[in-house]
Amino acid sequence: MSRAAVLCGLGGALPERAVSNDELARELDTSDRWIRTRTGIGRRHVVAPGEATSDLAVAAGRDALASAGRGDVDLVVLATSTPDRPCPATAPDVAHRLGLGTVPAFDVSAVCTGFVYALATASSMISAGVAERALVIGADTFSTILDPADRTTRAIFGDGAGAVVLRAGEADEPGALLGFDLGSDGSGGDLITVRAGGSRQRSTPGTPDAGDHFFTMDGRPVFTQAVLNMSRSSQHLLDRIGWTPGEVDKVVAHQANIRILAAVGEQLGLEDKQIVANLDRVGNTVAASIPLALRDAAADGDLQPGHRVLLTGFGGGLTWGSAALVWPALDPAGRTHHPEHHQREDIVMSTPAIETQESLKHRVSALISEKFGLDEAELLSGATFDELEIDSLILVELSLILRKEMDIVLEEGDLKSAFTLDEAVAVIRAKADRA
């Protein structure tokens, strides 16, 4: 049997301070309802003054090593986009503080896909015989790079760290990493970025704009790219290893937004019970997202030995990636929180051929009404999407569903908030006629 990397330990850490939506609403023009309906997030954790990414990474690494039952590894890979310093890498300091001696240690920067990239890197080194045991950590403190006045990013992102221990083993044993699918598209690099602080800005004459040191994200195209690339990457990997989406017990996707998780589920034809979600309690923790979700699901019993597990992520770069394994029996050292389960309505959309403009109009209005809980009579009244408080992400989700269910491909910006339902349907119909 071929040599493989086997997951044998799991841990995580969160900063002590939790920030609720109500607390954010006291500082910014927002509300608990506004945040929950758009993201599914109820609170997030943020580091204290002087607390850094390495502090969370050390705590999560120690947790994972305790879960594995051994304190030694011969490789440390840290996924982070918020290192303690631009130079040197943070991983060597983490390895030193964990008492791991002079093992090789390095950082991987792939933003929210970072953990999957780091997992693939460590797995490959074990499979090649370069290492026997590896500690893989995803850790980020995005609260340190957010604009304090930006209600959108502050509502979404939280700080945290998650970690796993890998050991050399056999490809047919539980916990063995069965395969990876990785990708990137640098043409979308400006969609998720911090513009200042790197060599490009530092070598450019002049002073950067005040906001250039903060993280920025272009929400609508990021939503579309996240859903499409996580779905495609997941399907490519499933095809390669011989699983169907229905045979997967749990999908642990990057915890970016509850609506992105739901849209990925729709693209892959998943049931709600297959999708793991813990973002309501921790927000988007970037590279820590997937391992923290694994840890909470395992500690709560939602993730059981023998489950077929699919991991998938999407982040800046643009980057994306997926991994798969059969879940092993572990001894988690603890858990971050007691999960509260999300319920999402199952939406079934039939796919008969579109015959008339009016039939398409009623299909689209019924879809929006059923999926997003809006009054169909109001949709048919002639009001604009803006007047009906249908936000831009709902229009993005609608575009993705139309792509999947009717093979109608809408470009970014084809559906506008100023449109009435009739105007939107006219655009959709024109696209369908040209398909």
Distance CA 409, CA 423 (A): 17
Strands 160-170 and 105-108: unpaired
- Is residue 284 among the annotated active site residues? yes
Alpha helices in 87-171 (DSSP H): 91-97, 114-127, 151-156
* C-beta contacts of 82-90 below 8 A and 24+ residues apart: 82/53, 82/140, 82/141, 82/142, 82/144, 82/145, 82/286, 83/53, 83/107, 84/52, 84/53, 84/54, 86/197, 90/53, 90/54, 90/57
Of the candidates 284, 277, 217, the one whose C-alpha atom is nearest the C-alpha of residue 46 is 284
Strand partners, 11: 163
In the set 254, 257, 278, 337, the catalytic residue is: 254
Cα 144 to chain centroid, rounded: 19
How crowded is the C-beta side of 37, counted as CA atoms within 13 Å?
A: 14
- Between helix 258-268 and helix 32-39 the angle, nearest 10°, is 20
Q: Position of tokens 């991991």? A: 311
The CA distances from residue 273 to 16, 82, 249, 348, 393, in Å, are 30, 33, 8, 16, 24
341 noted as active-site residue:
no
Instruction: Point out the catalytic residue in the list 257, 284, 307, 337.
Output: 284
Q: Which of 8, 21, 45, 112 is catalytic?
A: 112
Concerning whether 112 is annotated as a catalytic residue, the answer is: yes
> Within a 10 A sphere around the Cβ of 399, how many other Cβ atoms?
23
E strands present in 284-419: 308-315, 319-326
Quote the tokens at residue 241. 């290893």
Tokens of 203: 């070598």
Q: DSSP string covering 70-107, please?
A: ----S-EEEE-SS-SSSSS-SHHHHHHHTT-TT--EEE
Element spanning 193, H or E:
strand 192-194
- List the structure tokens of 96: 């030193």
Give me the active site residues, please.
112, 254, 284
